[in-house]
Amino acid sequence: MQARITLITLGVDDLDAAIRFYRDGLGWPTEGIVGSEFEHGAVAFFELGNGLGFALWPRASLAHDTGLPQGPRSSTEFTLAHNVASRNEVDAVLGQALAAGAGLVKPAADTFWGGYAGYFADPDGHVWEIAWNPDRLP
């Protein structure tokens, strides 16, 4: 299998609140909710660039579609990383996320691998790392 991720979907508890966080708080463009006419179909898509999409879908709908039981949230399942070009940009992005309603998981600090990073959790508990990594500049 060739590694090719084209869409990241996060299950959310409140679709409207999640859209407000990403659209209004972080400034990500979206057409809003589509698919509301279908049972378990309401979803919001965001284009991140370079062919990568991002979607927000109610957790209950995601569970229904996969056939898996809806389990409890867990912030330690995975993280999403947003790499930036400078230490100052790490602080700016963390500040923007906090102002939009994110929770601070770990303040930005120097890392053991030679970069600078911090973590926030979106309103549904999904954890994001904001990092300046001199070896992986955007």
**95, burial (CB in 10 Å: exposed 0-12, middle 13-18, buried 19+):** middle
For the stretch 104-130, pLDDT in tens is 999 999 999 999 999 999 999 999 999
Instruction: Check whether 3 has a pLDDT greater than 80.
Output: no
pTM (two decimals)? 0.86
Is residue 50 a part of any domain in this protein?
A: yes
Residue 21: give the domain boundaries.
7-66
- 88 and 111 share one domain: yes
Domain count, the chain: 2
Which pLDDT belongs to residue 66?
87
Q: What is the CATH number of the domain that holds 33?
A: 3.10.180.10
Q: Do 84 and 127 have their domain in common? A: yes
Is the domain of 88 the same as that of 45?
A: no
Residue 113 lies in a domain: yes
- pLDDT class of 80 with cuts at 50, 70, 90: very high
The verdict on 95 and 117 lying in the same domain is yes
DSSP 39-93: TT--EEEEEEETTEEEEEEEHHHHHHHHTPPP----TTS-EEEEEESSHHHHHHH
Mean of the pLDDT values across residues 23-44?
A: 96
Shared-domain flag, residues 85 and 62:
no
